[in-house]
């Protein structure tokens, strides 16, 4: 029927207006929940915002969380451009820690600027391998990457428990974790360069994340491979016609995606904890899906969405101290609502907005109807 004829939104509305509306709705619903348990929503909002951006210390932690989300968001986005849904960011980020600790411990007495690039390569290699295997399975054996990456998350978790407890844990330590890296091999905190950040966890890996964002932009829109990758994502028959090797693209993209997720391990192992602990990824891989969705798979969008989710994590942590009536579980509820509205239900307002835009502009309406009639024949 005629209601099906809707023109895609103008780009600015798609990229800016829609996420803002989604976010506003998430906050409104969260506010209702806060209200329902007898607390003041505005005070809660204020606590989250100040907790995330209020001072250098808080903002530093926001950026620390954002760093992880930039990597996992990029991992999802790069795969998505090739039409692949990599849900395995969590497992790839987790198992990459093995690579990072494997080089960071032996090289711990070297200066950090030597350890850092080697740790990046090692993390990328192991994370990449964890993406490559599902990629290979899809390219050569037709096993769907969504299924295999989910399973690989569980395999990674099991391997990590075994490795940490049975191989990496030094004798005489009770906690399941590897030995500590010597101070020389640790990544400097940003606070060492910018005193405003004080001694927060945000470290030099943030710079790596920003480089990855720029690199991904160039890769996707300015390289031959990026062209092939986007072509595959849009129309795999056309890439076969063009003679781009679909299987090769799938394997390379999944490896790159896994390598990007693996950078979380660099941030966590040599940047924050200085050792390999269990479950350090803390579901950053899954948040990355929401970040990529909200950021429209574009590096700038991912940057903004990653900072937003970083702020929610940090602000949410602060919230429970500022308003004792809001427990940690409440914070999780608010974060989940934001993910729900900005990630899973990001298209909620789209038809309505499209209709409003078409009513506002009859020219767009005409163009939409014409485009529709071209699609359905003459």
Please report, as ranges, the residues that interact with other proteins according to CB under 8 A.
1-2, 218, 222-228, 230-231, 234-235, 237-238, 240-248, 362-367, 369-371, 373-378
| Shortest Cβ 38–other proteins spacing (Å) | 47
Q: For residue 327, give both structure tokens.
A: 């427990």
Alpha carbon distance 331, 263 (integer Å): 27
In the complex with other proteins, the residue whose CB is nearer, 189 or 298, is 298
The DSSP secondary structure of 281-326, one letter per residue, reads: TTTHHHHHHHHHHHTTT-HHHHHHHHHHHHHHHHHHHHHHHH-TTS
In the complex with other proteins, the residue whose CB is nearer, 252 or 270, is 252
| Shortest Cβ 300–other proteins spacing (Å) | 18
DSSP class of residue 263 equals H
| Shortest Cβ 228–other proteins spacing (Å) | 7
| Shortest Cβ 197–other proteins spacing (Å) | 35
3-state secondary structure of 36: helix
Alpha carbon distance 270, 187 (integer Å): 6
In the complex with other proteins, the residue whose CB is nearer, 42 or 366, is 366
CA dihedral 364, 365, 370, 374 (to 10 degrees): 90
CA dihedral 43, 45, 51, 52 (to 10 degrees): -170
Best CA proximity match to 102, nearest among 152, 158, 167: 167
3-state secondary structure of 131: helix
In the complex with other proteins, the residue whose CB is nearer, 101 or 252, is 252
| Shortest Cβ 222–other proteins spacing (Å) | 6
Q: Contact 319/47 with Cβ under 8 angstroms?
A: yes
Q: Contact 134/250 with Cβ under 8 angstroms?
A: no
Greatest CA separation for the chain? 78
In the complex with other proteins, the residue whose CB is nearer, 150 or 369, is 369
| Shortest Cβ 3–other proteins spacing (Å) | 11
In the complex with other proteins, the residue whose CB is nearer, 140 or 144, is 140
| Shortest Cβ 227–other proteins spacing (Å) | 5
In the complex with other proteins, the residue whose CB is nearer, 123 or 226, is 226
| Shortest Cβ 373–other proteins spacing (Å) | 5
In the complex with other proteins, the residue whose CB is nearer, 135 or 316, is 135
Bridge partners, residue 189, by sequence: 203
């Amino acid at each position: 029927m005629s209601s099906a004829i809707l023109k895609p939104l103008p780009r600015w509305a798609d990229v800016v207006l829609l996420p803002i509306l989604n976010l506003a709705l998430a906050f409104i619903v969260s506010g209702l929940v806060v209200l329902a348990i007898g607390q003041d929503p505005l005070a809660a909002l204020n606590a989250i915002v100040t907790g995330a951006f209020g001072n250098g210390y808080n903002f530093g932690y926001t950026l620390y969380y954002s760093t992880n989300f930039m990597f996992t968001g990029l991992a999802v986005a790069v795969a998505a451009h090739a039409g692949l849904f990599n849900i395995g960011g969590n497992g790839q980020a987790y198992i990459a820690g093995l690579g990072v600790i494997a080089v960071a411990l032996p090289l711990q007495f070297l200066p950090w600027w030597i350890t850092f690039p080697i740790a990046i390569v090692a993390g990328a290699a192991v994370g990449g391998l964890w993406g490559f295997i599902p990629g290979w399975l899809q390219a050569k054996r037709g096993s769907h990457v969504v299924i295999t990456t989910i399973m690989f998350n569980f395999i990674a978790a099991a391997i990590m428990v075994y490795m940490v407890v049975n191989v990496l844990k030094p004798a005489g330590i009770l906690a399941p974790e590897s030995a500590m890296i010597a101070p020389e091999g640790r990544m400097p905190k940003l606070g060492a360069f910018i005193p405003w950040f004080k001694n927060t966890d945000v470290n030099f890996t943030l710079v790596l994340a920003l480089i990855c964002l720029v690199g991904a932009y160039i890769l996707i829109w300015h390289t031959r491979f990026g062209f092939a990758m986007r072509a595959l994502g849009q129309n795999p028959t056309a890439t076969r016609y063009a003679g781009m090797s679909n299987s090769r693209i799938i394997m390379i993209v999944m490896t790159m995606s896994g390598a990007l997720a693996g950078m979380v391990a660099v941030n966590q192992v040599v940047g924050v904890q200085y050792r390999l602990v269990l479950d350090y990824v803390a579901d950053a891989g899954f948040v990355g899906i929401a970040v990529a969705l909200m950021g429209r798979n574009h590096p700038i969008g991912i940057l903004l969405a990653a900072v937003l989710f970083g702020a929610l994590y940090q602000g949410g942590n602060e919230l429970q101290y500022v308003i004792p009536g809001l427990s940690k579980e409440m914070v999780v509820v608010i974060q989940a609502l934001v993910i729900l509205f900005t990630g899973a239900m990001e298209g909620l307002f789209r038809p309505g907005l499209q209709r409003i835009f078409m009513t506002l502009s009859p020219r767009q309406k005409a163009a939409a109807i014409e485009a529709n009639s071209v699609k359905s024949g003459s």
